[in-house]
Amino acid sequence: MNHPAHEARKVMVLGAGDIGRRAFHELAHSDRPRELRLVGRDEEAVLRAANLARFCAMQRGHAPRVGHAVTDLRDVARTAEQIAAFRPDVLFLAASYQSWWVISTLEESAFRRLYAANYGPWLPMHLVPAMKAMEAVRQSGLRPVVVNAAYPDAVHPALRGAGLSPDLGIGNVANNVPGITAAVADELGRPVEAVEVRLVAHHYVSHRLSRHGDSGPADLGLGVRVDGQDVTDRLDVPALLKRLPERYRRTGGLPGQAMTAASALSVLEPLADGRAALVHAPGAGGAVGGQPVALRADGSFERVLPEGMTPRRAEDILRSGQVQDGISEIRDDGTVVFEPSSMAVLTEELGYACAEMKLSEAEDRALELAERFAAYRSAAGTVA
């Protein structure tokens, strides 16, 4: 990713759903030299979304280079052709067979029952599109920096053994960092620019924080620096976190995906512009869970843990969250072992059972899960 300062860096957004469109739209609103391409399955929808981003940007005085293309991730060869034709420096993968918010459209009691399974048992729905996209990247012969939006906390370690892990994830751990930063700044009477938060947390924990203000039975790691000095010991961290769903509560659900899109942009924009940044990213380098990451101008990165935290301690923290999310273990070959108590919820509600899953079985499992959920949704009904 070494370019002259004047040369446009190319960013491909692969997936034209809600997060993909939001990120693409914001990437277009810049005077930085970027060339953008939105890629999805529906020609009409992708064309309209690309033009909307372009015209909104023009209305605000920008002149983005915007294009679109069509592929279906299930067609690996065609996707590889689209990647090879555009030659992206950064590829943002924003695709899933079932977005996290879909179960929230169920009738309330059905939603609550399924919600109790946590996220882990739904892994096939996010793993398979990422796996196919990474197979397409491999076939293209290129090596863009790949950033994935769909459950990177578990998708990336599952794909790591096959050499198919995306480089970085977005969202999850990052989504609570602004709220924590604001809470610290207000507590200490300092501007938010003076506060640096370093949070180590799995998806399970980051999901809990905004709703309950704690990490539940899982662990988290938090370090706080103000004006470059560690002040963590001066803070009542549990009390501070309790304020997240209170004073610092924010809009959730599908409208709240604006926060996830902002987290995506915190990673994508430095990569697109070739500048260094300290960000929070799940699945960095195929790791379990999320942690602080220092991006370099050339697109490489390294994790930056809270002061005094060892890599071993960080891994223990993240694996505790993985278990609570419904995944007992992700083996080196990509085999995923699910927590019996979490899977029991899907067995009770959907009639779906899967004690463990090899990568080679993931596509069939995703299809089965999709069919069973569709039947369940039809029977349970949805909210208006």
Long-range Cβ contact pairs of 232-235 (< 8 A, separation 24 or more): 232/306, 232/307, 234/188, 235/184, 235/187
Residue 15 is predicted with a pLDDT of 97
DSSP string, 47-101: HHHHHHHHHHHHHTT---EEEEEE--TT-HHHHHHHHHHH--SEEEE---SS-GG
8 Å CB contact between 66 and 50:
yes
Sign, CA torsion 310/315/320/325: positive
Which residues of the chain, if any, have pLDDT below 50?
Answer: 5
Q: Would residue 136 be called left, alpha or beta, if left means φ above 0 and alpha means ψ between -120 and 50 degrees?
A: alpha
Residue 6 is predicted with a pLDDT of 56
How do residues 283-305 score in pLDDT, each as one tens digit? 999 999 999 999 999 999 999 99
Instruction: For domain 9-169, give the fold.
Output: Rossmann fold (3.40.50)
Numbered ranges of CATH 3.40.50.720 in the chain:
9-169
Residue 3 is predicted with a pLDDT of 55
Residue 104 is predicted with a pLDDT of 87
How do residues 301-318 score in pLDDT, each as one tens digit? 999 999 999 999 999 999
Residue with tokens 């950033």: 147
